[in-house]
Amino acid sequence: MTKKILTKNSYYEGLLQDLYCGNDGLFSNFLHFFYQYNNIFVFYEKFSNEFQTLYKLELEACESVCKVIFSMGGDPKYFSANKKYISGMNIDYVKNLKNIVEFDIELIEKSLIDVKNVISKIDDVEIKARIKNILQIKKAEEKILKNLFLKLNQIN
C-alpha cells in the first residue's frame, strides 16, 4: 500500500476522481486512444506511432492522478465521484483519419480545460504541482495532434 503523504480531502478526491474516470476523464481518453491506435495500426499504419504515443501519454496521465488519489488515502476506482461507472460509450468509433484527428483535437482541448479547472479549485500546493504535470502531458498530446492535422492537410 502506498504511504499516505497528502492530507485527505474528500472535495479534492472527488475532483480528481472525476478527472480520472468521469465521462470525459483521463481513463476514457486512454481507452479512446488505445482503440484508435489499434484501428490506425490496421488502416493507416504510417500514423501508428503518433497514436501509440497518445495512448501511452494518456496512460501516464492516468497513473499520475491515481498516485495523487492514493497518496490522499483514496482509491481510484473506475467510476466518477457520483458513482457512474466508466464505459466504452464515450469512445468515438469513427474510422476516417481526418475526422479522428479533428475530434481528438477537440477532446484534448476539453481535457486541457478540465485539468485547468481542477488545478484552479485546489489550494494544496503539492497536489496542484502534481496535477500541473498532467497539464504538460495534455499539451504534448495537443502538439502531436495538431502536427498530425497539418500533415494530413498537406497530403490532401
Task: Supply the pTM of this predicted model.
Answer: 0.92
Q: Is residue 1 part of a domain?
A: no
Give the count of domains, the chain: 1
What residue ranges of the chain have pLDDT lower than 50? 1-2
Position 115 in a domain: yes
Q: Is residue 2 part of a domain?
A: no
Identify the CATH number of the domain in which residue 33 sits: 1.20.1260.10
Burial of 59 (0-12, 13-18, 19+ CB in 10 A): middle
Q: 3 lies in a domain?
A: no
In angstroms, the CA 65 to CA 69 distance is: 6
Indicate whether 100 belongs to any domain.
yes
The pLDDT of residue 140: 98
* Domain residue limits at 65: 10-155
